[in-house]
Amino acid sequence: MMKFFSQSSEKGDLVLIALFAVAVFTMPIWLAPFGANYPDLMQRFAIFGIFATGFNILFGLTGYLSFGHAAFLGVGSYTAVWTFKLLGMNPIPAVIASVVVAGVFALVIGFISLRRSGIYFSILTLAFAQMCYNLAYSVLTPITNGETGLRVLHEDPRIFDDKTVETTGPLISQIFGYQMQGMTGFYFCGILLVITVFIAMRIFRSPFGMMLKAVKTNQNRLNYTGVNTRPYTLAAFVISGMYAGLAGALMCIIDPLAGAERMQWTASGEVVLMTILGGVGTIIGPIIGAGLIKYFENIFSAFNDQTLANIYSFLPDGLSEVLVSVTSLFVGEGWHLSLGILFMLIVIFLPGGVTEGLSRIGKLIARRTGKAQKNENEGGRRSSPMPGE
């Protein structure tokens, strides 16, 4: 995976993406020691991996920090459920419709927000997302079903579904008889993750991606170089909005229920955390970040005093009680505290995120084994950590 950092040829990209695909599809095996190999969590790794990868196309390449990407997630979710309601439970139309609708939304919001840059852009996107969130609860209730959340009902048209064989049980998205749940659901998300990461990789390596990096570094120079930066930033914004729409659709394919809480500003903030934690501007970083945060959320929050007591049971009674009471601050309800500390440590000591840490370790190993020279050549073009902007 270390090679994700270095620029390489098209053939090299195919090798990398193949390795990545293997890593994704063997997740049930190599996540087992961490206790994270259950389908529900792995689905979320894949879905948020897609979300963060898309976000990184905007933030990592152009430097435009959107605080409203959860809006596109929500739009994608509602579109997916509506597709189920109208066309049936097949996930493919839901995916296509969500990506298209989220793209159109991103076009409108991006067109307005991208008139400003820096903090003003962030505030504009945040305002739009909060507007969507509040509209979903109020005037748009006929479309969003308000607080109850939008779900698929048996009496919905679902024109392409075969209604003769259906029972009264909950409706589940399915294709060719495969139900999008459990491991099947995970593999469906996993395939889409691999495809979307491949697309992101192509974008990173294209002249288009190079222009986006130039936007981040010096927009003024780019204007005086004959480049109209607006369509570039807008294209990046729309692409990342489409990624978010896809992630939103997948959430509903796994569980056909869309709620407005998905659009809240905390969800927009989460994807920012994921991207920075993993490594802004790297391809694999946001996926690592998404995995870490979802892992913390699910595993750390599940710890309680009893499990802690079991962990420390080998220690003398008094000591283990002290340790349990101290540690319990950081797990269970307090998992946000551990996440916060981890985030602070990363931002202070590894501004390039986890990927920067990995590449440092990689260089250290390379130096030990006497391959320092080679590594220098390969890693020379690695994107530098974010300068304080």
Partner 1 sequence: MGILEVRDVNKNFGGLKALNNVNLDVEEGSVHAIIGPNGAGKSTLLNCFVGRLDPDTGTVMFNGKSLLGLKPHEINQTGVVRVFQTPEIFTDLSLLENVMIPAFARRDGAFKLNPFRDVEREGEVRDKAMNILEEVGLQEDRNKIASSMSRGDKRRLELAMCLVQDPVLLLLDEPTAGMSRADTNATIDLLKRIGERGITKIVIEHDMHVVFSLADRISVLAQGTVIAEDVPANIKGNPKVQEAYLGGAHL
The residues that touch partner 1, with contacts defined as CB under 8 A, are 7, 9-10, 199, 202-203, 205-211, 213-214, 216-218, 220-229, 231-232, 235, 239, 380-381, 383-384, 387
Q: Which is nearer to partner 1, 146 or 385 (CB)?
A: 385
Q: Which is nearer to partner 1, 127 or 222 (CB)?
A: 222
Q: Which is nearer to partner 1, 86 or 234 (CB)?
A: 234
Shortest distance in whole angstroms from residue 377 CB to partner 1: 9
List C-alpha distances in Å: 217 to 90, 94, 156, 238. 43, 37, 51, 20
Q: Which is nearer to partner 1, 205 or 336 (CB)?
A: 205
Asked if 94 contacts 251 with a C-beta cutoff of 8 angstroms, the reply is no
Shortest distance in whole angstroms from residue 354 CB to partner 1: 20
Q: Which is nearer to partner 1, 307 or 384 (CB)?
A: 384
Q: How far apart are the first and last CA of the chain?
A: 28
Q: Which is nearer to partner 1, 103 or 209 (CB)?
A: 209
d(CA 53, CA 382): 18
| Secondary structure element (H or E) that encloses residue 150, with its range | strand 150-151
- Where are the extended beta strands (E) located within the chain? 150-151, 174-175, 178-179, 257-258
Asked if 94 contacts 83 with a C-beta cutoff of 8 angstroms, the reply is yes
d(CA 289, CA 98): 24
DSSP string, 155-167: TS--TTS-GGG--
Shortest distance in whole angstroms from residue 43 CB to partner 1: 28
Shortest distance in whole angstroms from residue 290 CB to partner 1: 22
* Closest listed residue to residue 70, CA positions, set 264, 274, 280, 297: 264
Shortest distance in whole angstroms from residue 208 CB to partner 1: 5
Shortest distance in whole angstroms from residue 211 CB to partner 1: 7
Q: Which is nearer to partner 1, 56 or 77 (CB)?
A: 56
Asked if 61 contacts 281 with a C-beta cutoff of 8 angstroms, the reply is yes
Q: Which is nearer to partner 1, 218 or 313 (CB)?
A: 218
Q: Which is nearer to partner 1, 138 or 384 (CB)?
A: 384
What is the separation of C-alpha 32 from the centre of its chain, rounded to a whole number of angstroms? Answer: 22
Strand-pairing partners, residue 258, are: 150
Shortest distance in whole angstroms from residue 206 CB to partner 1: 5
Shortest distance in whole angstroms from residue 119 CB to partner 1: 20
Contacts of 209 (CB under 8 A, 6+ apart): 61, 203
Q: What share of the chain is helix, strand, coil (3-state, %, to 5)?
A: 75, 0, 25
DSSP-derived 3-state class of residue 168: coil
Shortest distance in whole angstroms from residue 283 CB to partner 1: 14
Number of residues assigned to the chain: 389
AA identity, residue 109? I
DSSP-derived 3-state class of residue 139: coil
